């Protein structure tokens, strides 16, 4: 039998281990209604309920006050963004601006909130339930366990967002489309936002959250600490996501690129924070 000698935690990554850890965590999440029901409610609230009410108010009911207020917002949009808004009526232009620019941060808030809630408990939870012992004695490498758990935290948030995004597109096109000359959403900037800007912000947040999850002593502490980390990131992501839509394609690509770089550094540091000793609940191993 051949055997390899490598530094602890530096074995070659085996995708099958990453996939198995992720799939098992997701399976457990699916069994936990107390996790995914609030997740669905959050997604529905941001992607369906709030936009529907606002857009219907503006375009169908024709609330003069609301249209007037939104029109004022159009005045403060950057020139480049303002120029792209089609439509002849105030209601149509206001609806378009709401749909394309003002709901953009929702695409960031929802996945980060959901994924943080899942990720905060993922490593410390193994320790609290005693299942960390099983993983610590398994052939899975520590980096594989970390990446598997990262995926299992990332997928629910991102999946909710992608599905919510689809439903949201349907809603805004149905409600606002007739006033602006047909279906218009998603715009090119939204595609870049969803596929290039949101994923690294999510990975960056989760790397920090998983790192915290490995270090704290209880799930409650992990959730408290995660809120401290994710709230500033949500604010940064909020402003950057909005800016990426306002500023055109180049800005979006640039913001996404920087976010990816930060995410990679955070991932690299996050992986190193998890050890078998931490899975076993021993924090001060040399």
Partner 1 sequence: MNAITSTPADTLGGVPTPEPVVLLEKVTKAFGPAMALADLNLRVPSGQITVLLGPNGAGKTTAIRTITGAFSPDSGVIKVFGLDPTMQGREVRSRCGVVSAKPSLYDRLSGQDNLRYSAELHGLGRGPGVDARIAHCARRFGIDEALDNQVGGYSTGMKTRLALARSILHQPELLLYDEPTSGLDPESSHAVLELIREMTNDGSTVMMCTHLLLEAEGLADQVVILQDGSDIIDGSPDALTKRFWPEAMVRLSTDDPVALDALAHHEGVVAYERADHVATLRLDRPERIPDLVFALTAAGSRVTRVEPHEPTLEDLYFAVRQASGHTRLGAVDGSTV
Contact residues for partner 1, defined by CB under 8 A: 1, 3-8, 11, 16-17, 20-21, 24, 27-28, 31-32, 129-134, 136-141, 276-277, 279-280, 282, 284-286
**Whole-angstrom distance, CA of residue 194 vs CA of residue 244:** 11
**Whole-angstrom distance, CA of residue 60 vs CA of residue 67:** 11
Q: Is 211 left (phi over 0), alpha (psi -120 to 50) or beta?
A: alpha
- In the bound complex, what is the minimum distance in angstroms from residue 11's beta carbon to partner 1? 5
Q: Which is nearer to partner 1, 93 or 127 (CB)?
A: 127
- In the bound complex, what is the minimum distance in angstroms from residue 140's beta carbon to partner 1? 5
- In the bound complex, what is the minimum distance in angstroms from residue 223's beta carbon to partner 1? 19
**Whole-angstrom distance, CA of residue 124 vs CA of residue 118:** 11
Q: Are 213 and 118 in contact (CB under 8 A)?
A: no
Q: Which is nearer to partner 1, 17 or 93 (CB)?
A: 17
- In the bound complex, what is the minimum distance in angstroms from residue 94's beta carbon to partner 1? 47
- In the bound complex, what is the minimum distance in angstroms from residue 237's beta carbon to partner 1? 31
Angle at 52 between CA 48 and CA 54, to 5 degrees: 130
Q: Are 98 and 55 in contact (CB under 8 A)?
A: yes
Q: Which is nearer to partner 1, 4 or 250 (CB)?
A: 4
- SS3 string of 13-32? CCHHHHHHHHHHHHHHHHHC
Q: Which is nearer to partner 1, 128 or 167 (CB)?
A: 128
**Whole-angstrom distance, CA of residue 84 vs CA of residue 110:** 26
**Whole-angstrom distance, CA of residue 109 vs CA of residue 102:** 13
Q: Which is nearer to partner 1, 6 or 250 (CB)?
A: 6
- In the bound complex, what is the minimum distance in angstroms from residue 4's beta carbon to partner 1? 7
Q: Which is nearer to partner 1, 64 or 282 (CB)?
A: 282
Q: Which is nearer to partner 1, 45 or 277 (CB)?
A: 277
**Which is nearest to 260 in space by CA: 174, 198, 187?**
198
Taking residue 140's Cβ as centre, other Cβ atoms within 10 Å add up to 19
- In the bound complex, what is the minimum distance in angstroms from residue 91's beta carbon to partner 1? 49
């Amino acid at each position: 039998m051949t055997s390899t000698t490598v530094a602890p935690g530096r074995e070659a990554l085996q995708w099958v281990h990453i996939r198995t850890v992720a799939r098992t965590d997701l399976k457990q999440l699916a069994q936990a209604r107390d996790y995914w029901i609030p997740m669905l409610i959050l997604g529905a609230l941001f992607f369906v309920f709030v936009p529907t009410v606002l857009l219907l108010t503006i375009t169908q009911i024709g609330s003069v006050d609301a249209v007037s207020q939104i029109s004022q917002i159009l005045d403060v949009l950057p020139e480049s963004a303002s120029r792209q808004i089609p439509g002849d009526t105030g209601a149509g232009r206001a609806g378009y601006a709401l749909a394309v620019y003002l709901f953009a941060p929702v695409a960031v808030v929802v996945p980060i909130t959901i994924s943080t809630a899942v990720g905060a408990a993922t490593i410390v939870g193994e320790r609290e339930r005693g299942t960390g012992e099983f993983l610590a004695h398994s052939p899975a490498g520590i980096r594989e366990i970390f990446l598997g758990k990262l995926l299992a935290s990332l997928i629910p948030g991102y999946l909710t967002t992608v599905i919510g995004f689809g439903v949201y597109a349907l809603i805004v096109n149905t409600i606002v489309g007739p006033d602006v000359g047909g279906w218009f959403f998603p715009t090119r900037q939204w595609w870049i936002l969803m596929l290039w800007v949101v994923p690294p912000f999510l990975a960056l947040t989760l790397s920090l959250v998983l790192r915290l999850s490995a270090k704290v002593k209880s799930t409650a502490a992990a959730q408290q600490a995660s809120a401290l980390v994710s709230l500033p990131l949500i604010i940064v992501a909020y402003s950057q996501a909005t800016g990426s839509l306002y500023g055109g394609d180049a800005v979006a690509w640039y913001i996404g690129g920087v976010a990816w770089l930060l995410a990679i550094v955070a991932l690299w540091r996050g992986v190193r924070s998890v050890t078998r000793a931490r899975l076993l609940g021993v924090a001060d191993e040399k």
